[in-house]
Amino acid sequence: MPSVVGLLEQRECAARRRVDELREEADRIQAELAVAERDWNEWVIACSRVGEVLAPGDGDVAGPDVSVDLPDGGEQPVPAGASESAKSKSVVPMWRAGLARSALSVDYQRILRVLADRDRLGRGPFSCQEMAVCFGLEVVPAKVEALRSKAKRMVARGWLVEPVPGRFTLSEGVAGEGAGL
């Protein structure tokens, strides 16, 4: 009959082998993950660079707080002949009567369009989570907060109002301009 100490040593040895095998597998997976993350990062940079090159405008550069991730890349055609054409990643101007919506970047125009549709249907204020769903974005804190930041900026500049905390609708002047969104 084997000794208790001998059985314990056998089990310890088997457990140590298993730990070593798992560590080797974890190291292999970590190395694969690092390569995959580097590859992904290069694609993100490539998409960003192509977006910068293809973006309408004259190369204006704005701060990082003025862009939003949209599933279609955020690019939409800009109406020809607009006196104040939309520039990708542009700053939100103060709203004033007669200011063309094309003065906003396509991202902000999209928010206005969704809120105008909701207003026409008589559904009341819209939350940022609901906007994220409309835009096909994942409803995760980063995406929702990016939209909330945009909406708050539009409130501060007179395009939207926030009648209830966290819910947004068109301001009276913007809504009164008609359905030309």
Q: Are residues 49 and 68 in the same domain?
A: no
Q: Are residues 5 and 77 in the same domain?
A: no
Report the pLDDT value the prediction gives residue 90, as an integer from 0 to 100: 55
Q: Are residues 94 and 170 in the same domain?
A: yes
Q: Are residues 108 and 31 in the same domain?
A: no
Q: Are residues 70 and 150 in the same domain?
A: yes
Number of structural domains (the chain) is 2
Q: Is 164 or 84 the better-scoring residue by pLDDT?
A: 164
Q: What percent of the chain has pLDDT over 90?
A: 15
Report the pLDDT value the prediction gives residue 119, as an integer from 0 to 100: 81
Report the pLDDT value the prediction gives residue 74, as an integer from 0 to 100: 41
Q: Is 159 or 47 the better-scoring residue by pLDDT?
A: 159
- Judged against a pLDDT cut of 80, whether residue 40 lies above it is answered with yes
Q: Is residue 181 part of a domain?
A: no
- According to DSSP, the β-strands at 160-164 and 167-170 are antiparallel
Last residue of a domain, one of 54, 83, 98: 54
- Judged against a pLDDT cut of 90, whether residue 14 lies above it is answered with yes
Report the pLDDT value the prediction gives residue 15, as an integer from 0 to 100: 96
> For 113-129, how does the pLDDT look when each residue is reduced to its tens digit (9 = 90+)?
888 888 888 888 888 88
With residue 37 as reference, give the H or E element that holds it: helix 4-54
> For 134-167, how does the pLDDT look when each residue is reduced to its tens digit (9 = 90+)?
888 888 888 889 889 889 998 998 889 999 888 9
Task: Domain of residue 75: give its range.
Answer: 64-175
